Structure 1
Amino acid sequence: MNGSDNGRADSHEAAASPFVLIEPADCGVPILLAAPHGGRSYPDELLGAMRDPRLATMRLEDRHADTLAIEVARQTSAMLIYAKAPRALIDLNRSSEDVDWSMVTGGDKPRVRNSAANRRARSGLGLVPRRLPHSGEIWKSPIERAELDRRIDTVHRPYHRAIAGALAQLRDRWGAALLLDIHSMPPLPGRHPDERGAEFVIGDRFGASCEPMLSSRAIAYFGRRERLVAHNRPYAGGFVLDSHGAPGRDIHAMQIEVCRSSYLDADFAEPSARFASVARTLAGLVREMADAIMEIGGQKGLPIAAE
């Protein structure tokens, strides 16, 4: 699962693995970048099981969020983990219990099927997405329980073990660590008809997943660059932040949503000419957060390079 070779993933291993973890030999920041929803390695059988593969894949993906994370990691020498397995196969930002059991056939099922643990699944976007807003059902038929268990055992659990291990490694080295979970979002409306919506949304589970100072510095960073930013609304973070954010143990987690129109073309399909600018902006954020995390960890701050 771990493809690394002095900061470059082995191409054969990366192609076969559901995710790639890159640990640069010159890692100079106490930050792990993650992109759980950018995976585009679709098995033929998965596409064949979809009612409308083109629509479902485009709607479910955080299109090229992984490409963005890779470029930001290159510019900052940050640790990086990104999914190759698509969200349609399994959602890495959901609990393994967040299952719509009515779409699962065979094997034993929990007695309690409607609980807080699977509330997102009941809306259609659980561990295995079932429905898309305004589009309906994704799959032609239910998923077998054995296949669900296989996806959890071979993709979901190893991914989260890798994140936990990487964060512990960074914390042990620097005294504190930050997970920056990178996602993309559709364009948001402004508060008023003549206003633009936020380009970035910082999520910290309403202060539970990281030191509030980190979110404040992130928001101030975007403000200095005159980039529109929101905090926790409408995206506060999900399972990744709940699982890995532990400020009391000096492990912090923050989600950042990037507006797709900021870095993708008009069809939200491929990177646009604006991609490079957004990558530079996020690289600057990583440097800002690295400085803050090293202050928390008792280390000397990182000089901020000119951008």
Structure 2
Amino acid sequence: MNDNESRDFDTPFEVLMPEGGIASPFVFNSPHSGRLYPQAFLDQARLDAVTLRRSEDTFVDELFTCATSLGSPLMRAHFPRAFVDLNREAYELDPRMFDGPLPPYVNTRSIRVAGGLGTIARIVADGAEIYRDRLSVREGLQRIERYYKPYHHTLRGLVDRARRTFGMAIVIDCHSMPSSRITREPRRRPDFVLGDRYGTSCASIITDVAQETLQRLGYMVTRNKPYAGGYITETYGAPAAGQHALQIEINRALYMDEVKYERTSGFSWLANDIGHLCQRLTEIAPDTLLTRQAAE
């Protein structure tokens, strides 16, 4: 990694805090909505800048800015998923991508690595190879040290603060998914997919409230299929320890032109509905979760 690349990320991520202070155990997180592509990264890529964006959760952070008005922080990355994927283990790396041997602690055998979507991805969402040449091992490890680890250190701090203050923390991990038009699937994809690791990453009331709220608003909602939740949901979701995590996937066709990467007229409508969803979630009584936590 060179100095020019570092300067592209004076602020690699940020936490939007409520003006009146944190008043809720909820922590909203948008790890894949980053849209700043370093020139050095673009120079390494065999893909053009538009194609690189296929893995992006474009505008998802903006859809959830309502969280701050409800007393909850919103964390978001500015660097893109194709550069460093925060929803992976720290060291899920594909040895075929690098010009030398990786350290022995690196996980080179995960399913995500095999699929080309490790911590430093080999491909974008549709399978196109990102890089012209192999990366240096040093560069790969530096990306993790400079971007991945500080992000998770900050997210962990928000979660720990919520637990100290409220006796619990609830992470809402915010994502988007391509529509069936883009994936060319024969069936329409749902509007929302709620991932709670099949009931293991959060109390059922959290998923229930999210599903019921969205369905009342007229959306098609499924649970855990095709997305049950990734590394963040799995790692930060430990209900017995007072930590809950729910992943929310939004169909991009609801709010954006998936070819032009532009907001459509549906963006404002959806943002209002997301605001209603966030309000309903943050209205869940902490005592209810604490009672269930104690029972477990």
Same fold (TM over 0.5): yes
1:67 match: secondary structure? helix
**Which TM-score applies when normalising by structure 2?**
0.87
Alignment partner for residue 28 of structure 2, among 26, 29, 33? 33
The residue number in structure 2 matching 1:94 is 88
In the alignment, the residues of structure 1 paired with residue 96 and residue 241 of structure 2 have an alpha-carbon distance, to the nearest angstrom, of: 38
- Look up the equivalent residue of 1:173 and give its one-letter code: T
Alignment partner for residue 218 of structure 2, among 208, 226, 231? 226
In the alignment, the residues of structure 2 paired with residue 14 and residue 133 of structure 1 have an alpha-carbon distance, to the nearest angstrom, of: 24
Alignment partner for residue 65 of structure 1, among 50, 60, 69? 60
Which string of whole-angstrom CA distances, capped at 9 and with x for unpartnered residues, describes residues 36-93 of structure 1? Answer: 01111111100111111224322111111122223x2344342010000111211000
Q: Residue 238 of structure 1: CA displacement?
A: 0.5
In the alignment, the residues of structure 2 paired with residue 205 and residue 218 of structure 1 have an alpha-carbon distance, to the nearest angstrom, of: 15
CA contact 2:92–2:108 (8 Å) conserved in 1: no
Alignment partner for residue 83 of structure 1, among 70, 77, 87? 77
Alignment partner for residue 291 of structure 1, among 280, 283, 288? 283
Q: 1:66 to 1:169 in 2, by over 3 A?
A: same
CA contact 1:208–1:245 (8 Å) conserved in 2: yes
Q: Residue 267 of structure 1: CA displacement?
A: 2.7
Aligned residue runs from structure 1 range 9-20, under 5 A: 16-20=10-14
In the alignment, the residues of structure 1 paired with residue 154 and residue 255 of structure 2 have an alpha-carbon distance, to the nearest angstrom, of: 28
- Structure 1 gaps of 5+ residues are 1-12, 300-307
The residue number in structure 2 matching 1:172 is 164
The residue number in structure 2 matching 1:6 is none
Q: 1:67 to 1:144 in 2, by over 3 A?
A: same
In the alignment, the residues of structure 1 paired with residue 243 and residue 45 of structure 2 have an alpha-carbon distance, to the nearest angstrom, of: 38
Please tell me whether residue 214 in structure 1 is matched to residue 214 in structure 2.
no
Q: Residue 265 of structure 1: CA displacement?
A: 2.6
Which string of whole-angstrom CA distances, capped at 9 and with x for unpartnered residues, describes residues 243-302 of structure 1? Answer: 111111211111100111111136350222211221121222222222225233559xxx
The residue number in structure 2 matching 1:236 is 228
Please tell me whether residue 42 in structure 1 is matched to residue 26 in structure 2.
no
- Look up the equivalent residue of 2:277 and give its one-letter code: L
What is the RMSD computed on CA atoms of the aligned residues? Answer: 2.5
Aligned residue runs from structure 1 range 134-283, under 5 A: 135-188=127-180, 196-265=188-257, 267=259, 269-283=261-275
In the alignment, the residues of structure 2 paired with residue 223 and residue 93 of structure 1 have an alpha-carbon distance, to the nearest angstrom, of: 27
In the alignment, the residues of structure 1 paired with residue 157 and residue 267 of structure 2 have an alpha-carbon distance, to the nearest angstrom, of: 30
Q: 1:112 to 1:152 in 2, by over 3 A?
A: closer
CA contact 2:33–2:58 (8 Å) conserved in 1: yes
- Structure 2 gaps of 5+ residues are 1-6, 292-296
1:243 match: secondary structure? helix
In the alignment, the residues of structure 2 paired with residue 186 and residue 109 of structure 1 have an alpha-carbon distance, to the nearest angstrom, of: 35
CA contact 2:55–2:81 (8 Å) conserved in 1: yes
Q: 1:108 to 1:236 in 2, by over 3 A?
A: closer
1:183 match: secondary structure? strand
Which string of whole-angstrom CA distances, capped at 9 and with x for unpartnered residues, describes residues 12-47 of structure 1? Answer: x99612110122242333211111011111111001
